[in-house]
């Protein structure tokens, strides 16, 4: 909706020439308490926003408006966020390299309290003689047109979602005028609608004790979207990143439900815990140390603040973070803070380590002690409930897995005795396949070189499809592996981002790099069937990504690290793999391979080749067939 005749939108006002007089209308999104200037005048400062300015590349925080008057009672009666303010003949001037709207003797103002502005569906009632309740002198009220009134109603509706995320604390509301004889304008304003009293205001000094950390100091529970604040908090975690950035996770032990919720251990479900039921698969991340709930705020730092924090701030330190911009980036995101460089003073650091002399710090430590005392009080009861399950957890898991295997074997008519007899044929008893009830397949059947299972009718034509999503069980033995050096079985993972999880979930609690398992095995048919034309047994390469390799190596294998700098882990890995492939690693060229066959699970899948790959044109539909081992464990 375009502004009414004679008015411009706030984006145009924001970029207009210095010294220009404009007529504007906007919604209040920020409000500072009334203050005294050096010339002993009263001053009120607030910010206005409309849809055009909100969506612009600049000024999305609002256009600052500042009024001066020697009589405090004559300042605009701005009382809360979402109030709509109409200004005529206000002057745009630069201040700290930013435009600001300054009042002058020509300026007139009308304030429409948010509670008195109806929904647009009721606007028809205000298209005749009815007028919106407004606060201002009679001359300003009399100038209000139906077009301007309709714009006020529409503007509030357009910004409803934006304003809903912003809450101006009551302590920042404009204070009431001291008791004095009412002016004629105030009398007439009250007579217009006796059922609509003027807003009640309170002095900021009475609503909230003045902080020794400055007027912008706020507790975490008071932080809101698109606000700037100074925050005194304790560092829970610190993550130095590349390119001059740092992430701090801080708390002052006050709750803000706009932030991320960190689940306490007693509320976690089995689905939320890392790994599978037996702990074979997945990277087991270290437990979040607390505090839990809506208590921890993420703050993003850039240089020079990041450089200072990376070198000087440690976990557990109490810091004062100056001029933190609060934001919620998108729908469903959580509240977090940013500290970017100061454009006027690029070397200024806005991160300060605090001593224990301030009142706010003592209050923070008292809240911390109270929080952890309450957490500790829960532990004895929780320990009593968990003590017996913890003692028997391993036994329970073993028994549960055994029952599952017995039920599976019973369905196919295989007894435990017959299974043991089957394993007496030289099969490696120290390697277990999780789907032993499945009918085994030969390597040749899995590879399907004649495309018996990879032929389908598509659009009336018989075509060869590149792969099928299928799982098999095979009896094989390892005859080769990649990479050729076992030291290269642990690699650094490629970075990836998970937007659906907590920002903590994708991180580890130290700055050292984390490794993943990755290797390939050449498997050969263990039985007599499935030989090639030359009389050799069929072979296939299979891959093991981190989860499959972790499952294969079992729970007693440590997490992967740099194997070239960790000889103990390398020796343990070689000892484990020796169970799988015998003398494969150390055998000489003329020495026969002595290892036992084993049963494993194999998964068939496909990947699309890049357009630059020369093989893409030679494979059906540009997809390459691959195989991966899964569900196989070295006991």
Give per-residue pLDDT as tens, 506-524: 554 444 568 899 999 999 9
Contact 547, 282 (CB under 8 A): yes
DSSP letter for each residue of 518-546: -EEEEEEE-SSS-B-TTSPBPEEEEEE-H
Residues 80, 63: Cα–Cα separation, whole Å: 16
Helix (H) or strand (E) holding 446: helix 443-447
Beta strands 35-36; 42-49: pairing state: antiparallel
Among the residue ranges 33-42, 233-242, 319-328, 386-395, the one predicted with the least confidence is: 386-395
Confidence check: pLDDT of 208 > 70: no
Helix (H, G, I), strand (E, B) or coil at 171: helix
DSSP annotation of 121:
G
The answer to whether residue 254 scores a pLDDT higher than 50 is: yes
Distance between CA atoms of residues 378 and 365, nearest Å: 20
Give the pLDDT score at 203.
35
Does residue 250 register a pLDDT over 90? yes
Cis peptide before 291 (omega within 30 of 0): yes
Tokens 């509240």, residue?
335
Distances (CA, A) of 504 to 62, 298, 354, 519: 32, 9, 25, 29
- Let me know: does 129 contact 111? Beta carbons within 8 Å: no
Q: How far apart (Å, rounded) are the C-alpha atoms in residues 350 and 301?
A: 10
Per the rule left: phi > 0, alpha: psi between -120 and 50, beta: everything else, 479 is alpha
Rounded-to-integer distance, Cα 390 and Cα 495, Å: 35
228-230-236 Cα angle (round to 5): 115
Q: 456-459 long-range CB contacts below 8 Å, 24 or more apart?
A: none
Quick: pLDDT tens for 106-146: 999 999 988 888 877 766 656 666 778 888 888 888 888 88
Q: What is the pLDDT averaged over residues 15-20? A: 88
Question: Rounded CA gap, 180 and 41, in Å?
Answer: 18
Residues 6+ apart with CB under 8 A from 90: 21, 22, 23, 24, 65, 101, 102, 103, 104, 107
State the pLDDT at residue 7.
Answer: 94
> What single DSSP character describes residue 566?
-
Distance from C-alpha of 557 to C-alpha of 592, rounded to nearest angstrom: 29
Residue 397 has pLDDT above 80, yes or no: no
Q: What is the predicted pLDDT for the residue at 37?
A: 85
According to the model, what pLDDT value does residue 349 have? 87
Task: Examine the pLDDT at 553 and tell me if it is beyond 50.
Answer: yes
Environment class of 413 (CB within 10 Å of its CB; exposed 0-12, middle 13-18, buried 19+): exposed
Give Cβ neighbours of residue 523 (< 8 Å, ≥ 6 apart).
443, 474, 476, 477, 478, 479, 539, 540, 541, 542, 600
Whether the per-residue pLDDT at 402 is higher than 60: the answer is no
Residue partners of 1: CB distance under 8 A and separation at least 6: 151, 154, 155, 158
pTM to 2 decimal places: 0.36
Domains within the chain, CATH numbers bracketed: 10-205 (2.40.50.140), 220-259+294-374 (2.40.50.140), 426-634 (2.40.50.140)
Would you state the structure tokens that stand for residue 76, as one six-digit string?
């605009």
The CA dihedral of 391, 394, 399, 405, to the nearest 10 degrees, is: 170
Contact 80, 28 (CB under 8 A): yes
Q: Using the structure block, give the residue that is written with the tokens 């560092």.
A: 235
Residue 594 pLDDT greater than 70, yes or no: yes
One DSSP character per residue, 176-228 reads: PPPS-PPPHHHHHHHHH-TTSPPPP---HHHHSPPPTT-TTB--GGG--TT-E
Structural contact between residues 178 and 34, judged by C-beta atoms closer than 8 angstroms? no
Task: For the chain, give the number of residues.
Answer: 635
Q: What is the mean pLDDT of the chain?
A: 77
Please classify residue 150 by burial: count the beta carbons closer than 10 Å to its beta carbon, then call 0-12 exposed, 13-18 middle and 19+ buried: middle
Q: What is the structure's pLDDT at 251?
A: 93
Asked whether residue 170 carries a pLDDT value surpassing 60, the answer given is: no
DSSP string, 589-613: TTSPP----EEEEEEEEEEEPPTT-
Segment 528-539 mean pLDDT: 67
């Amino acid at each position: 909706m375009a502004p009414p005749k004679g008015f411009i939108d706030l984006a145009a006002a924001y970029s207009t020439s210095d010294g220009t007089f404009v007529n504007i209308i906007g919604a209040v999104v920020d409000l500072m308490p009334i203050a005294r200037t050096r010339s002993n005048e009263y001053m009120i400062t607030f910010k206005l926003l409309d849809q055009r300015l909100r969506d612009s590349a600049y000024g999305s925080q609002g256009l600052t408006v500042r009024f001066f008057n020697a009589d405090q009672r004559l300042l605009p009666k701005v009382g809360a966020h979402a109030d709509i303010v109409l200004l005529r003949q206000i002057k745009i001037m630069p201040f700290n390299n930013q435009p600001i709207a300054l009042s002058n003797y020509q300026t007139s103002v009308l304030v429409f309290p948010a509670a008195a502005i109806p929904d647009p569906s009721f606007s028809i009632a205000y298209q005749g003689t009815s007028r919106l309740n407004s606060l201002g002198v009679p001359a300003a009220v009399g100038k209000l047109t139906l077009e301007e009134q309709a714009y006020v109603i529409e503007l509030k509706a357009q910004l409803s979602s934006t304003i809903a995320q912003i809450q101006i604390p009551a302590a920042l509301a404009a204070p009431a005028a001291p008791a004095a004889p009412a002016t004629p304008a105030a009398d007439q304003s009250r007579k217009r609608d006796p059922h609509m009293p003027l807003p009640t205001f309170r002095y900021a000094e009475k609503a909230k004790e003045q902080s020794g950390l400055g007027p912008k100091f706020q507790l975490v529970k008071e932080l809101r979207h698109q606000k700037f604040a100074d925050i005194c908090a304790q560092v829970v975690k610190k993550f130095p990143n590349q390119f001059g950035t740092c992430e701090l996770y801080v708390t002052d032990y006050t709750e803000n439900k706009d932030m991320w919720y960190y689940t306490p251990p007693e509320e976690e479900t089995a689905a939320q815990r890392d790994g599978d039921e037996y702990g074979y698969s997945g990277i087991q991340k270290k437990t979040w140390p607390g505090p839990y709930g809506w208590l921890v705020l993420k703050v993003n730092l850039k240089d020079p603040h990041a450089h200072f924090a990376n070198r000087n701030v440690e976990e557990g330190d109490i810091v004062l973070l100056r001029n933190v911009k609060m934001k919620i980036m998108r729908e469903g995101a959580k509240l977090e803070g940013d500290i970017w460089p100061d454009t006027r003073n690029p070397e200024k650091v806005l991160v300060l380590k605090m001593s224990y002399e301030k009142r706010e710090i003592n209050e923070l430590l008292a809240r911390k002690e109270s929080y952890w005392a309450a957490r500790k009080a829960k532990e004895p009861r929780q320990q009593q409930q968990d003590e017996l399950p913890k003692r028997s957890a391993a036994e329970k898991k073993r028994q549960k897995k055994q029952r599952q295997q017995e039920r599976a074997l019973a369905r196919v008519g295989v007894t435990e005795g017959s299974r043991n007899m089957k394993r007496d044929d030289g099969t490696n008893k120290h390697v277990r396949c999780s789907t032993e009830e499945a009918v085994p397949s030969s390597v040749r059947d899995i590879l399907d070189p004649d495309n018996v299972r990879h032929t389908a009718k598509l659009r009336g034509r018989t075509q060869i499809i590149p792969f099928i999503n299928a799982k098999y069980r095979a009896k094989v033995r390892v005859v080769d592996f990649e990479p050729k050096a076992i030291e290269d079985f642990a690699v650094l993972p490629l970075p990836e981002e998970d937007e659906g999880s907590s920002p903590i979930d994708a991180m580890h609690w130290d700055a050292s790099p984390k490794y993943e398992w990755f290797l390939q095995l050449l498997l050969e048919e263990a039985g007599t069937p499935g030989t090639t034309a030359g009389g050799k047994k069929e072979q296939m390469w299979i891959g093991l990504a981190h989860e499959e390799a972790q499952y294969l190596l079992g729970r007693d294998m440590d997490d992967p690290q740099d194997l070239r700098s960790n000889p103990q882990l390398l020796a343990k890995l070689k000892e484990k793999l020796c169970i799988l492939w015998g003398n494969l690693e150390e055998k000489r060229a003329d020495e026969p391979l002595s290892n036992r066959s084993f049963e494993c699970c194999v998964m068939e899948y496909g990947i699309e080749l890049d357009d630059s790959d020369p093989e893409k044109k030679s494979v059906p539909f540009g997809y390459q067939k691959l195989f991966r081992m899964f569900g196989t464990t070295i006991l």
